[in-house]
Amino acid sequence: MAINYPNGKKFIPSKEKPVAKKKKDFSFSNRGKTLEDELNETNDYYLQRGLAVIHKKPVPVQIVKVEYPSRSAAVIREAYFRAPSTTDYNGVWNGKYIDFEAKETENKTSFPLKNIHDHQIHHMAQVVKQKGVAFMIIRFSSLERYFIIRFEDLEVFWNRMITGGRKSIALDELEATAIEVKPGAFPRLDYLPILQNL
């Protein structure tokens, strides 16, 4: 005979109770957060203190089919990207237009350039041509290391790949050309002081 609680849920005797999975410990070195989470928190910190106005760009999406399973809920069933997105973040700091892409890799020795798209390189080139500041922040997630590479340096590696050369940026090349950002507490990734050198 099945026994149910007043709310309709089935009663499971103690010997049959499923063992609760142990939650992962994300307390060490900010584990579990993505680069995007860290940048969003950092940008909120900058905004609240009046240091910069930098936001994540929304991805342009065209919604085609929506279903309404109930009055208060809508479920998007079909959508398309309207246009390729440019870069992840843009805004203003110290009178300068800022535009940058954020990428992560689990590789320990290099950053694969296949993670970047032609239209993103083209967009950053246009930003630099108009005297804006364009760069990329790369996170080596397995090493917990972060680098800011100027677009001008990124373009050199991109052109090397286009002309048949290496399809990635070696970690030692990043150490030589980019600036490493040491993660902290508040803000997590204080990248604005580094922009002074770009």
Q: Could you state, in order of their start, the residue ranges of all structural domains in the chain?
A: 33-195
**For 134-154, how does the pLDDT look when each residue is reduced to its tens digit (9 = 90+)?**
999 999 988 999 999 999 999
CA–CA dist 189, 187 (Å, integer): 6
Residue 171 buriedness (CB in 10 A; 0-12 / 13-18 / 19+): buried
CA–CA dist 102, 90 (Å, integer) = 11
* Nearest residue to 34 (alpha-carbon basis) of 101, 102, 116: 102
Question: How far apart, in whole angstroms, are the C-alpha atoms of residue 57 and residue 137?
Answer: 15
Contact (Cβ atoms closer than 8 angstroms) between residue 124 and residue 89:
no
pLDDT of residue 188: 85
pLDDT per residue over 41-88, tens digit each? 999 999 999 999 999 877 767 777 888 877 778 877 777 666 666 788
Confidence of residue 186 (pLDDT cuts 50, 70, 90): confident
Q: Detail the residues annotated as belonging to a binding site.
A: 86, 88, 101, 120
Which pLDDT band holds residue 35 (cuts at 50, 70, 90)?
A: confident
User: Which whole number is the average pLDDT over 108-121?
Assistant: 91
Instruction: Detail the residues annotated as belonging to a binding site for Mg(2+).
Output: 86, 88, 101, 120
Domain 33-195 grouped into CATH 3.30.70.1350: no
Distance CA 183, CA 146 (A): 8
Cα dihedral: 65, 69, 70, 73 (round 10): -50
